[in-house]
Homo-oligomer: A and B are copies of this chain.
Amino acid sequence: MPEQSELTIQGWGPPPSHPGGGDADTPAAVLPRPARRFLTRELGWTPRATPPVPVGDIRVAASRLPEAARQAFTELLGAGEVSEDRDARLRRTGGKSYLDLLRRRSGDASDAPDAVLTPGTTEEVAAVLRLCSEHGVVAVPFGGGTSVVGGLSGSDADDRPVVAVDLGRMSSVRSVDVHSSLVTVGPGMRGPALEEALARDGLTLGHLPQSWEYATLGGYAATRSAGQSSTGVGRFDDLVAGLTLATPAGVLQLGHPPASAAGPDLLGLALGSEGTLGVITELTLRVRPRPRGRHYEGWSFRTWAAGLATLQQLARHDLLPDVVRLSDADESRATLLMASGVGARAVRGSLRARRRGQGCLLVVGWEGIPSVARARRRAASSLLRDGGAVRLGGGVGRAWVHGRFSAPYLRDRLLDQGLLVETLETAATWTALPTVYDAVRAALRGALDRGGRHPLVMTHLSHGYPTGASLYVTVLADRDDALPIQQWLGAKRAATDALLAAGGTLTHHHAVGTDHRPWLAQEAGPLGISLLRAVKQQLDPTGVCNPGVLLPD
């Protein structure tokens, strides 16, 4: 079983045994007062205690694993690596979307796997998948359990039993090739452990999504993740030089660093396959020297439109900072009002003095060789000033760095108090971006306005490319206590319809999962879907690999 600390069952953060940890024994912390005041006014929200049911009261059905399958798995892996224990199953139930948390908080774990398997090698994983095929058992790969799109739903049209294939035992560095800037790792390894190991050679991976503390490297590949420094470091796709995919039909070795023209790129089929083609059992990743310098700072634009136009200029000249994050007016206002402390007050004061109280915050970060980073920063700063931005200094940047992984913890506190809290994301070309932004906001507001209560829709541009950028949207609203799931499903449907119609992609870095399945055909086209099905049919002819996600029924 994994040695890494596990996420709490009903939210984010370490389990009760862990110092400072969560679950039922921690009282629902009260929100900071300025945040509470701001949200009450903004949303028409009535703060109220809506705590989760005790973990012991969560309903988990008896395992449906057939005896023959249990015997076969036990023979293959040993009895210690096949568990039908309630806690083990509960900890591999679903992911961490708002819908997942609503279900778990209300005591529903009807999506729990029937058993948890913990294979230790590629060969064992391949053998597990063959046995799954033989016994008609669905396999859901389990890494960090941090999916926010229902990627671990385990649902199956044929209602077959489900095993979670936990990769926690395959979580070590297998080799480092310093010369070629490559590291080979197990899929269950997490970012912090990898960074610690790489630091010994003066290296870093540099992939830092918000889920960094708990998500696994295999999960990043399976979902096409993007980190907070993705503008500089690249999407996770760009960091994968090779991988091993165990499938029911056999084992694929994919990728040939540094590059190849020997036919179409099959590695790209494994990236984003979300467990539907098999299980990623090894990854070779591109690493780099730890940057000698890092510089984060804040800027302010008077308007969102000015911010977008200026970042587009930076992007076309390849001058985007390694980290770039432009908040719209609603997010900027909320960030400043909800922040407490002397630093936040100083920034608020400084902005008011410059008549930018209603402006848009930009956080930028520069990394790498100091002389080159400085030249890039100077050239970019000049374009930022040309675009009307004013510099706020390093405090804003440091504050962002300090809080970069904190949002999911805060979400638990907001859920405790009767709020709807969810995020969604998309990407579009620079030309389409303003339309996509307007369309998503209008859709969410239309869907979530009810009886004098309004959602707060906060957006930031989170990843920049020469051809466009991604938008990350956070939604807060007073929760509909009677029908909370339906409330969000309606809003999500409206937002997704709107962003696709405006030219956005279904997802920029959260993946498809269960939640985006109904729309995939709209983006990939019927022939594209048939192509994905043909690939799946070849590798997983009995359809046991995570059938509940990605491909529509």
Contact = CB atoms under 8 A, between A and B. Distances in A.
Interface of A: 177, 179-182, 223-226, 235, 237, 241, 247, 249-254, 256-274, 286, 288-289, 312, 315-319, 368-369, 371-372, 374-376, 378-379, 427-432, 463, 465-470, 505-512, 516, 520, 523-525, 527-528, 530-532, 534-535, 537-539, 550
Given A180-B430, A260-B507, A527 B252 contact: yes
Given A263-B550, A318-B288, A465 B258 contact: yes
A180 B468 contact: yes
A20 B317 CA distance: 39
Contacts of A270: 264
**Nearest 7 CB-CB pairings of A with B:** A375-B375, A258-B468, A268-B268, A258-B465, A224-B261, A265-B268, A180-B429
Contact of A512 (B249, B262, B376, B432): B262
Contacts of A374: 375
13 contacts: A177-B431, A180-B468, A181-B316, A181-B466, A224-B261, A237-B265, A249-B527, A259-B465, A262-B505, A264-B269, A286-B466, A317-B369, A372-B375
Contacts of A264: 268-273, 532, 535
B262 A520 contact: yes
A261 B268 contact: no
Contacts of A470: 258-259
Contact of A467 (B181, B432, B516): B181
Nearest to A235: B259
Contact of A528 (B254, B261, B431, B463): B254
A527 to B, nearest CB: 5
Given A257-B429, A269-B531, A532-B266, A312 B179 contact: yes
A319 B531 contact: no
Contacts of A379: 369, 371-372
A251 B530 CA distance: 12
A315 B262 CA distance: 23
Contacts of A530: 249, 538
A252 B274 CA distance: 22
Contacts of A371: 375, 378-379
Contacts of A430: 179-181
A266 B224 CA distance: 13
A85 to B, nearest CB: 33
A427 B259 contact: yes
A444 to B, nearest CB: 20
A269 B534 CA distance: 13
Contacts of A266: 524, 528, 531-532
